[in-house]
Amino acid sequence: MELVVQVGDIAKWQGDGIVVNLFEGVTEPKGATGAVDKSLKGLLTKLIAQGELKGKLGSATIVHTHDRLPADRVCVVGLGKPEEFTLDRARQAAANGVKALRDAGAKKIATIIHGAGVGGLDASRAAQANAEGIVMGLWQFRKYHSDNSEVKELDRVVLLERDAAQARTMRDAVRRGRIIGEATNRARDLANEPGNTATPTYLANVAKAIAKKYALEFFVIDRAQAKRLGMGAFLGVAQGSDEPPAIIVLRYWGAGKKAKPGLGIVGKAITFDSGGISIKPSENMQDMKGDMSGGAAVIAAMQAIAQLKPRINVTGIVPATENLPSGKAYKPGDILRAANGKTIEVVSTDAEGRLILADALVYATQTLKLAPVVDAATLTGAMVIALGHHRTGVFSNDKELTDLLFQIGEETGEKNWAMPMDPEYREQIQSDWADLKNTGGRPAGSITGAWFIRSFVGETPWAHLDIAGSVGMMAGSKEIGYKNKWGNGTPTRTFINLALALAKK
């Protein structure tokens, strides 16, 4: 799909369809929507008066122009209430508009840049958000369907801007938006891929191909190497599986090798989580192919970072393995020793994410000396209960990093929320047999999970993103705007924007 910025007037644009917008409560549209309404001899105003066009966020109404305009169709997307308008709503509206015209069968369409005009947003930021919304909104995963004859796709989307100088700056913004949107789509592709394809080796091969294409450093810590490094927690989880495990490492040297090691991003990649010997109930167990979503986001973010080239060093680390029961599998009661020497009593083999993260985080903080370090993991079902699907829980030892992640979330739409980490909660993971145990019981399960992970980062500024709810890897999660209903790529854009923000400091 082509995505270009052109100078022009939407009411004069010729093609299969154009997208304009409408705020809730507006009875006489102004700007581009007003111009289109005029050409349509007041049809939009009439539809508003009749209550068919309301401007509600999430709406996308298509009307046919019957040759009153050079374009065949007009799609009016709702922007919601003006006082609630945000950059992310512009992103959502952009997705809603292009999806509606695509589904109506259009191929070549043009859209105004939502939020830049009447919305009052900075033109460049709006253009980037629109591009992100369009690229992400049009994502589909059809590779395993034999019959795709009914699948609709757009060939060309034109972002129209009337001012030539403005259009020039928007071109850079659209390029950034496209890179970021495509990276998110990459994370979605990986998460949606079934467990029999997306093995640790597959993820390593994808990372390797990205490294080659975008000139990143790449290496893998395999089972033998992990043994030499004393990664007993990671290996404990991996020992029940016949698939070779891998800790995938991608390094971007945007500040040069003489500068600080820089940002570390670490993502849990359990390519299938059966629970192991503490086996999960079979209902909806298939969703656990998405238990590598944190790792997918890390790999995808590294791709975008390599393209955007911020002046900062960034290392992505992805511990990847299956969690399966077998005659070789680790068991409840087993005691594992992590790479920093700490011993862990296994209470549940289903609390495996924190175990693989433990060794990956020791490697990130002690071996590679990365700082800050941010990990993302589909860690706990309790997170879904606490915050549902609309916000990621942030657990951190650093206030500044927490605030930055919150800010990034408001702008990207990958919304974050700081969770408490009072030391009292830590007592729940004290063990009678070892230095700590891998579960703290049902109360505050996400917080005790975060405390477990925190025990492996030392004093390094660190944040943990529990994306179990926000990544949408569950039956029944919904499509909203540019967010697809299953495995939506969170927190790829958070990682990318974090690298960009830290590079500016």
Looking at the annotation, which residues are catalytic? 280, 354
The sign of the torsion formed by the CA atoms of 350, 356, 359, 365 equals negative
CB 262 within 8 A of CB 314: yes
Question: Which H or E element spans position 250?
Answer: strand 246-253
The sign of the torsion formed by the CA atoms of 437, 424, 384, 359 equals negative
350 is an interface residue for ligand BES by CB under 6 A: yes
Judged by beta carbon, residue 252 or residue 272, the one nearer Mn ion is 272
488 is an interface residue for ligand BES by CB under 6 A: no
Q: How far apart are CA 333 and CA 261, in angstroms?
A: 38
CB 276 within 8 A of CB 457: no
φ and ψ at 63, to 5 degrees? -120, 145
287 is an interface residue for Mn ion by CB under 5 A: no
Select the span of 84-92, 168-176, 351-359, 411-419 touching ligand BES (CB under 6 A): 351-359
273 is an interface residue for Mn ion by CB under 5 A: yes
Instruction: Determine which residue in the list 39, 192, 428, 439 makes contact with ligand BES, applying CB under 6 A.
Output: 439
Residue 63 burial (CB count, 10 A): 16
Judged by beta carbon, residue 239 or residue 412, the one nearer Mn ion is 239
487 is an interface residue for Zn ion by CB under 5 A: no
414 is an interface residue for ligand BES by CB under 6 A: no
291 is an interface residue for Zn ion by CB under 5 A: yes
445 is an interface residue for ligand BES by CB under 6 A: yes
Judged by beta carbon, residue 313 or residue 439, the one nearer ligand BES is 439
191 is an interface residue for ligand BES by CB under 6 A: no
Q: How far apart are CA 259 and CA 84, in angstroms?
A: 42
Instruction: Tell me the closest approach of the beta carbon of residue 265 to ligand BES, in angstroms.
Output: 19
From the list Mn ion, ligand BES, Zn ion, none, partner contacted by residue 380 (C-beta under 5 to 8 A by kind): ligand BES
359 is an interface residue for Zn ion by CB under 5 A: no
Q: How far apart are CA 26 and CA 29, in angstroms?
A: 6
237 is an interface residue for Zn ion by CB under 5 A: no
Residue from 340, 336, 361, 337 nearest 349 by CA: 336
Judged by beta carbon, residue 119 or residue 449, the one nearer Zn ion is 449
Instruction: Tell me the closest approach of the beta carbon of residue 230 to ligand BES, in angstroms.
Output: 23
Select the span of 76-84, 169-177, 271-279, 397-405 touching Mn ion (CB under 5 A): 271-279
Query: CA 138 → CA 39, 103, 131, 482, 505, distances in Å?
Result: 29, 10, 11, 8, 34
Instruction: Determine which residue in the list 72, 189, 350, 359 makes contact with Mn ion, applying CB under 5 A.
Output: 350
